[in-house]
Amino acid sequence: MGLTNERHERVIALVGNPNVGKSTVFNSLTGLHQHTGNWPGKTVSGAEGRCRSGETVYRLVDTPGTYSLLARSAEEEVTREYLLHGEAEVALVVCDAACLSRNLLLLLQVMAIVPRVVVCVNLLDEAARRSIYPDLAGLEALLGVPVVGTVARKKKSAAALLAALDRVIDAPPPVPPAFLSPLLERCRLSLREGKEQEAASAALAARAEEIGHAVTRGEGEPYSRRDRRLDRFLTGRRSAYPIMLLLLLLVLFITIVGANYPSALLADGFSWLGNLFRTCLSALEAPPWLIGLLVDGVWRVLSQVVAVMLPPMAIFFPLFTLLEDSGYLPRIAYNLDRPFCACHACGKQALTMCMGFGCNAAGVVGCRIIDSPRERLLAVLTNSLVPCNGRFPALLALISMFLVGAAGGFAASLLSACLLTLFILLGVGMTFLATRLLSATVLRGLPSSFVLEMPPFRRPQIGRVILRSLLDRTMYVLGRAAAVAVPAGCLIWLMANVTVGEGSLLQHAAAFLDPFATLLGLDGMILLAFLLGLPANEIVLPLVLMGYLSAGAPVELGSLAEMRAVFVANGWTPVTALCTAVFFLFHWPCSTTLLTVKKETGSWGYTAICAALPTAIGMLLCLLIAAFGRLAY
């Protein structure tokens, strides 16, 4: 299936409940020929993709997952309005084979307002494992619309769906069965007016339940005994939080151990390419200042950002996506719903907070899943209180140099992962505290209720997880970081090489900041490095080294022992390292995150709060640590 440039495309709306495999069906049909964007005027995202069947080109519009078309949430409103007033010629409704009765309510509502409908009964393999066997022919006979059974991850399912679309796309709209016509007509009027009629809704829900029971064979349960046992363990009062902590520790340990060697290889490779780049520019007789700007400024900063960021993200994001695909992340939201509700927030904020561990910008975008505008703002403004992937390498370096020791080995990696876990727990604790503070001041209100379905545990699709993680998350975040690292490299090189009097602009700026930085347990060069590292946190430690060594370009990180020797020679103590680590944890978000906050909220005021909140927390903690440190030393 490939993309074409035909002007005339047949538009298909993809509709379904959450957790029915709708995204898998969409990806199976469209492959990589898709793009994601916001619905007009909404913070709800949707995807579009194209596929070909013979000479026909279909444009699939993936509507947000919803349980009903009665607009109680942004997702429901978007889906209903698109089906009513959009350009879709056919609605492809995806249902879960294991729980047809629940899915059929949405299907009947869609049939009420869309003339042509194709039903995709997905997850037949999972239903069979639970001894549930839907009668697809019987369902098609009852509804009068095509019904296709699928296992969306298999290619033949996509061919069957395209064949069904080919049959209905130009066919006359079917006449609804007599036993459904009156109910569908009442539902159509209700949906067009945007008003729920309780009697009509109850009658339609009862009819959906009746049809579901009539076409379902077998004695299995939609929710298996194995899933129930796992849920008692993963969401139990005594076991839920220790399991979450152990999983976090395991993910961090794998990320730490797995990223070290690839990072070193990338650094060596970029160093070799940098030397080759310098040789080529010299052969072209480029002026020395241009060679320095391009090689020592732009190239070196860009290479350090990529070498440090890419390996941990390439490990962390797939691990995170595996937890997501397996069905564990909704359990995390369930476990954290009570503490977030105590902060007058929404349990879904737990999911966006987890996304922030990979990238705060991605976490901010993920806040779209929260329906309440107030609670969405709470999640956006506090997301950067948990450390993103870009801060992990610097935190690990400081932990290894001053708290664990630079020696490697399994024990050192495990201890580093444990200490990093403590830093993350501090960030989570501050997230709860800041959320409660904001909800009691500028964002007052009570927590809203929300529907959280516990999907069945599923075996993750390893290949698709890796591909989606690398393309949709890793490369997206890396591309944005690289884009801001290029101008930062130019600025850093200019400040390090332009002299005023006896020192460079970099040294003068550090001296100006030193009195205030000393109060925070830092020094002027460290604080200046944080300011210049606004585009990407990964360049902060190289900037500190460059300032200490009076180098004309960011210094290669080298071994941890060499770095520690330079820091100690410039007055670092364990208190300095601890204050620097805390400030890495709590300071203004990177420019990418700030721009994302502005885009999502549409307000520079909320963007300023997002920057000021973690900075104030970090400065307060650093002041306290420095004060105790002065007493101890």
Task: Report whether 161 contacts 53 (CB < 8 A).
Answer: no
Among 295, 313, 292, CA closest to 303: 295
* Selected residue with higher pLDDT from 39 and 369: 369
**Residue showing tokens 């379905």:** 453
Rounded average pLDDT over 206-216: 90
Three-state DSSP class for residue 536: coil
* Integer Cα distance of 490 and 503 in angstroms: 19
- The phi, psi pair for 52, rounded to 5°, reads -120, 140
Tell me: the pLDDT tens digits for 391-425? Answer: 877 887 788 888 776 555 667 777 877 888 899 89
Type of residue found at 30: T
- Of residues 222 and 359, the one with the higher pLDDT is 359
pLDDT at 300 over 60: yes
Domain boundaries, the chain: 10-223, 240-453+463-476+505-632
Confidence of residue 550 (pLDDT cuts 50, 70, 90): low
Q: What is the pLDDT of residue 193?
A: 72
Q: Dump pLDDT digits (tens) for 449-494.
A: 666 667 777 777 677 667 666 666 667 666 766 776 778 778 878 8
Contact between 218 and 133 (Cβ < 8 Å): yes
User: In the chain, how many H helices and how many E strands?
Assistant: 27, 11
Q: How far, CA to CA in Å, does 324 sit from each of 103, 469, 481?
A: 22, 11, 24
Average pLDDT over residues 566-572: 88
What pLDDT is recorded for position 446? 66
Report for 64-78, 350-364, 538-552, 572-586: range of highest mean pLDDT: 572-586
Separation CA 331–CA 455 (nearest Å): 9
Q: What is the DSSP letter of 620?
A: H
Residue carrying the six token digits 């490779």: 269
> Which residue type does 334 have?
Y
Mean pLDDT (whole number) for 174-202: 79
More confident residue, 172 or 228: 172
The HSE-up count of residue 383 (CA atoms within 13 Å, CB side) is 36
Chain centroid to CA 118: 31
Considering just the CA atoms, what is the radius of gyration of the chain in Å? 28
Picking from 547, 628, 624, the residue whose alpha carbon sits closest to that of residue 583 is 624
Contact by Cβ (8 Å): 380, 600:
yes
Torsion of CA 504, 506, 512, 515, to 10 degrees: -120
Tokens 């959320």 belong to: 435
CATH 3.40.50.300 fits 10-223, yes or no: yes
Q: What percent of the chain has pLDDT over 70?
A: 86
